[in-house]
Structure 1
Amino acid sequence: MDLLLLLELWFGVCLSAGVVSSFSDSEPPKAENVHWVSLDFKTVLKWSVQPSDYTYTVALSEGEDGDWITSPECIEKSHTECDLTEDVKYHDMTFTADVVTEGMGAFDPEEFPHTYSIPFNPYRQSELSAVSFTIHKVAERSVTLNISDPLTGIHAGNKQLTIRDVLKKDLKYKVSYHKSASTGMRDLIVDSNLPQIPNLDQGQSYCFMVAAFVPSRAKEFQQGSWSSQTCTSGSILNEVELGTVFQAIFIPLVLLIILVTVIVIYCRCCRGKRKSTNTNTAQQATAQYTVV
């Protein structure tokens, strides 16, 4: 019995050692499908990997021959994404990321697998979200829009930067518009946030859409998402500003009323004077007749 028990213990120890050896000698998982996701300069690195107890650290290299610097926010992460916004910001520089698998095991740290991302330039490749705008002013043959710059994921002090703060003069807007009863679209590239759309047909209603546009970028990254469509209500002639209507109608009307009032008062005063004069003349004539 003692011999049998000894053999069972020996067999269990051997089996356990084999399992431990098998686990310790297994190859650490390698990050796969490493890719960048960046919208309005909020930049996140993502990857996929088989579930395990290993962790992942991300390092960045600036340019082709830059040094590898570990991101302070991306050390020994158990999940499969890392926010690199503060590391890459909006610099016009190309970055490459290295996702390193880390964990306990028999492997030397230098032997842990590395997975490299494709190069990424946030200034030239970050996608731009849909803008919002309103119809600011409608004249007889033009419409002026008021475009709001989207906010970015970047803060400078207490201020959250807009895409205008980042792109500056490189930022344009593409305005696409058409008559509400037509499908024929026309495009206009503008610099201002208050662009005037000229040469519109009188008596027509128009619909507008706006998208951020960066002509200095590669074609696939030039244009942001389109805004929702906004139309003028009624015709262009019916959309004249309240101030213009006031000047064109109410001011002349008020002046006319004032003029008529002055004339009426003047006429009444003249009648009163004539009546008073006639009364005095009659009284004098009566007095003279009485004396005689």
Structure 2
Amino acid sequence: MSQSACLIVLLLSSCASGLYPTAHNVSWKSTNFKTVLSWEPKPSSEYSYSVEFSQVGKDKQRTPHCIRSTSTVCDLSGSLTNLTACYTADVLSEPPLGATSDLTEFPHTSSPRFCPYKDTDIGKPDFEIQMNKDQRKITLNVTDPLTALFKNGRQLTIRDVFTDKLQYRVTYRKNKSSGKKVVESKSSVIEVTGLDAEESYCFSVQVFLPSRVEKQLGEMSLTKCSTTDNHSIIKEYSLVVIAGAVLFVVLVTGIIIAVAVICYKQRSKGLKGGRKAVPLQGV
């Protein structure tokens, strides 16, 4: 190719890039298999974005809601159907919807590789505390988090996806104590044993996926604490408070008794004085 021809190609490429700026900061964000591709910048009225994605080693595909769009995000949750495969995506800068261009190849930016099964973050679970008659044991009933995936019209949970590889890690401590203990379970019904009777305990739960190399732990749940109605009054209140309360009751009782005695004596004196003042009636 001659120097003049190379110069023309470079000029055309420069014009194309100037008219359709390439996207940057292309990244994946995925939680519980809700997977979104995002990038920058927001396009002007002169161009738009389209997204092409592909399973590694296979043909590229497009999803209808991410073609010639002015958005800078593309939800690919329902398109990445093979969860154990890895994917890449290209963000193409193209003419706006309804416009045409003489270009046959548009500027694009490729994403990092994304593997849903290994890379999606796991959100925090919810759970309920079940008190047992045996005060040394508490049962936690964990609700498996829902995913963004559906099968036969049913929304799948993370247990549907990870099956027997799913575990839960429970972190617990005595209420108002900083010392922590950890227990792990493959079940969503978790028994925590060896507790001190008549003590309140606080629990947090998170998903644990030991089969993963990275991102083994999910987001920590909210902390919930058990309640007990069997605390002794000495545990609930200090000895000083108890002594003060007893002293107050004794003092109030003494005042009531003293007032009652004084009133009784005054009434007795009044009755005796009244009898002396009444003259004897003749027979």
TM-score surpassing 0.5?
yes
State the match for 2:84 in structure 1.
Answer: 92
Quick check: 1:130 aligned with 2:124?
yes
What stretches of structure 1 of length at least 5 have no aligned partner?
Answer: 1-21, 239-292
1:32 aligned residue: 24
**Map 1:256-271 → 2, pairs under 5 A:** none
AA of the residue aligned to 2:90: D
Q: CA RMSD in A?
A: 2.3
Going from structure 1 to structure 2, the CA distance change for 1:29 and 1:197 (only over 3 Å counts) comes to: same
What is the CA–CA distance in structure 1 between the aligned matches of 2:182 and 2:135, rounded to whole Å? 20
The Cα offsets for residues 131-185 of structure 1, whole Å up to 9 and x where unpaired, read as 1101123223211110001111112232111111111112111100011132111
| Amino acid across the alignment from 1:179 | K
Count residues in correspondence: 214
1:30-84 residue CA offsets vs partner (Å, 9 max, x unmatched): 1111111111111111111253221211111212x32222233322112111110
Q: 1:28 to 1:93 in 2, by over 3 A?
A: same
Is the Cα contact below 8 Å between 1:35 and 1:117 reproduced in 2? yes
Q: Map of 1:251-290 to 2, 5 A cutoff?
A: none
Q: Is residue 197 from structure 1 mapped to residue 189 from structure 2 by the alignment?
A: no
CA contact (8 A) 1:176 1:186 kept: yes
- Structure 1 partner of 2:162: 167
Q: Offset at 1:237?
A: 8.5
Name the CA shift for 1:24/1:85 in 2 (closer, same or farther; >3 Å). closer
Q: CA–CA distance in 1 between the matches of 2:82 and 2:184?
A: 24
Secondary structure in 1 aligned to 2:189? coil
Residue 211 of structure 2 corresponds to 216
**How many angstroms does 1:231 deviate by?**
1.1
Q: Which runs of 5+ in 2 are unaligned?
A: 1-13, 233-283
AA at the equivalent of 2:125: V
Partner of 2:9: none
Alignment partner of 1:119 is 2:113: yes
Partner residue in 2 for 1:143: 138
Flag the 1:158–1:207 CA change in 2: closer, same or farther, 3 A.
same
Indicate whether 1:57 and 2:35 are aligned: no
Larger CA Rg, structure 1 vs 2: 1
Q: Which residue is equivalent to 1:45?
A: 37
Partners of 1:47 and 1:107 in 2: CA distance? 25
Task: Measure, in 2, the Cα distance between the counterparts of 1:197 and 1:236.
Answer: 19
Cα shift at 1:24: 7.7
The 3 A distance-change label for structure 1 pair 141 and 79 is same
- Residue 187 of structure 1 aligns with an amino acid whose one-letter code is V
CA distance in 2 between counterparts of 1:80 and 1:101 reads 11
Q: Aligned-pair distance for 1:93? A: 1.0
Contact kept, 8 Å, 1:29 with 1:50, in 2: the verdict is no
**TM (normalized to structure 2)?**
0.70
SS in 1 for 2:222: coil
**Counterpart mapping for 1:13-32 below 5 A:** 26-32=18-24
Q: Does residue 184 of structure 1 match 2:176? A: no
Q: What is the letter of the counterpart of residue 50 of structure 2?
A: T
